[in-house]
Amino acid sequence: MVRKGTPVSADSRSVAPGGVFVAVKGATEDGTRYVPAALEAGARTVVAAEGAVDAALAAKLAEAGCELAECPDTRLALSELACAQAGTDRLPLAVVAVTGTNGKTTCAYLLERLWQSLGRKVGVMGTVSYRWPGFCQPAPLTTPDPVSVHRNLAAMAKAGCEIAVMEVSSHALDQKRVDHVPFAGACFTNLTQDHLDFHKDMETYFQAKRRLFTEVPKQDKACALNADDPYGRRLASLCGGFAVTYGFAGCPGGCDPERHLHGDLLSQGTGGVRLKMRFAGETWELDSPLIGRFNADNLLTVQAMALAMGVKPGELQALASFTGVPGRLERVVNKKGLHVFVDYAHTPDALINVLQALRGAGFRQIVTVFGCGGNRDRGKRPLMGEAVARLSDIAVLTSDNPRFEDPEAILQDVLPGLAKAPRTVVEVDRRKATELACSLVEPEGCLLIAGKGHEDYQIVQGVKHHYSDQEVVRELLGQA
C-alpha cells in the first residue's frame, strides 16, 4: 500500500530514497532492465510485470530489503500509484478532459476563459503549456506521464484552482496515463485520420478515445459529444442519457432532443463568426472574433461541455471576448501589412478546416506553406497535399519536423497529392520557403504557414533546433 506522498517513478534516474520504482514494460523498452539502477538509487519497492524479474534479481532485491510487487499491467499500476502519491482522488478539483483529433487546444483555451470569467481559478494541461496561477511552462507532451499528471493536478489544487482542463491524447489513453484521473467531465470534438503510425487503423484509434468516456475512471461523468461526427454518434450510443450532444446538422436518431445543443452558423467573415444556439427550450446568439467554420465547431463544443456541467446559457457570452490561441490561425502582424497566419494544422482534415476558414473570410488568394513530419503516418502525406491543392492558389511545399527521415524523401511522398494544385513551389529549407511565399502574396490575399503553430523548434536527426514561424515572418516583413 503506497501512502500519499510516497515518491513514485518509472524513471530509475529520478527514483528517491525510500521510493517506488515501476518497471513499465513498453512496446520497445522494458523497465525491468533498470531495476538494479533503481535499487542503487534507494528504491524500497519495485513494481514489475508478472514473471519479468528473474530469480537472481529477486534475490538481490530481497537481500537489500526492497519489496517486489508483481502485477499484470505495469502501466495501470503506475497510474494508480501516481494517484495515491498525489491524493488526486481527494482533491477539491473538477477535472475536465478535451479529446479529439482537432480542436483540443482551442477548446481548452475557451473553457479556461469561460470559467475564469465566472470567477473560477483554472489550471490547464495541454499542447501549448501547463499553467495555473503562479506557474507556466511549455508543454513537452499534450498529456504527460501519470506521475506528472497527478503531480500537476495536486499543484493546481494547492494554488487554489477549482477546475483543471486537460487535453487528453489518444496515446495517453492507450498507454493508461490518465486511468486514475477523476474526471468530472469530458468532451469529444471529432475523429479524423491521424496517428495511424501508432494506432494502425481508425477503429483502434476510436477505441482508444472511447476509453475516456466509458472506462476512465468512471462512466457517469458529464459528457459533450459531437453528433455531427459519426464517431461522436457512436459514443453517444454508448454513454447513455447523461451526455449532452451537439451539432449544426440537427439532432440525430438515438440522441435525446432535450439534451442536444443545436447550432446555426448565421454568418462568417474576416470579422469572425456569429452563432445561434437552442438548448432545452432556450435560445441565444453569440458573436465571436474567431475565424472559420471549424472555430464555430469549437465554440459549440465548449458550450455543450459547459452546459453539461451546469453553466447557464446566459453565462456563455463570456466566450465572445476570446480572440484566439497561439499558433491556431494566429495572425502575425507585420510592417508590410500582409495577411499572414500561422496554424498548427498537420492533418488533412485540419488543413481543410483552416483553409476553408480563410476562404470563408473572403481572401481572394491563399498561399500555403506546409510540410509533413518525419517518422509519422506516411499515409496522410499525399492527403495533406490534396487538401492544400484543392483550397490554395499556390502551394509551397517544405520541411516540417523531418526527425530521422530524409527531408527530400518526405517531400516526394507529398507531391502526388499536389498533382492538381494550380501552382506548386518546392523548397526544402523552411525559412527560404517562407521568404519565397511572402513574395507571392497579393494585396488582397493571405499567407498560411501550417504545421508548426506554437512550436519554436524544428527536429532534425533527433536534435531540436530553434525555429519559430512567427519570428521568421517578423524578421522577413518587419515587426509592426
Q: What are phi and psi of 215, to 5 degrees?
A: -130, -35
Cβ pair 373, 400 in contact under 8 A: yes
What pLDDT is recorded for position 176? 93
Q: Would you list the domain boundaries of the chain?
A: 8-83, 87-321, 330-477
What pLDDT is recorded for position 6? 82
What pLDDT is recorded for position 412? 98
| Residue 42: all three cell numbers together | 534507494
Low-confidence ranges of the chain (pLDDT < 70): 1-4, 27, 193-200, 241
Neighbours of 211 (CB within 10 A): 17
Angle between helices 293-308 and 348-361 (to 10 degrees): 110
Distances (CA, A) of 277 to 72, 190, 247, 303: 48, 20, 10, 9
Give the architecture (CATH level 2) of 8-83. 3-Layer(aba) Sandwich (3.40)
What pLDDT is recorded for position 240? 72
What pLDDT is recorded for position 193? 64
Which helix (H) or strand (E) segment holds residue 301: the answer is helix 293-308
Task: Note the pLDDT tens digit of each residue in 368-422.
Answer: 999 999 999 999 999 999 999 999 999 999 999 999 999 999 999 999 999 999 9
- Report H helices in 137-266: 146-158, 170-174, 196-199, 202-214, 230-239
Which helix (H) or strand (E) segment holds residue 166: the answer is strand 163-167
What pLDDT is recorded for position 213? 94
| Contact partners, residue 20, CB within 8 Å, separation at least 6 | 2, 6, 7, 8, 9, 43, 44, 45, 46, 47, 81
Q: Apex CA 185: angle with CA 149 and CA 215, to 5°?
A: 75
| Residue 137: all three cell numbers together | 511552462
Give the architecture (CATH level 2) of 87-321. 3-Layer(aba) Sandwich (3.40)
Q: Which of 195, 187, 131, 132 is nearest to 159 (CA)?
A: 132
**Cα 211 from Cα 70, distance rounded (Å):** 25
Task: Note the pLDDT tens digit of each residue in 82-122.
Answer: 999 999 999 999 999 999 988 999 999 999 999 999 999 99
What pLDDT is recorded for position 2? 61
What pLDDT is recorded for position 139? 92
Q: Does domain 330-477 have CATH number 3.90.190.20?
A: yes
Find the length of the chain.
480
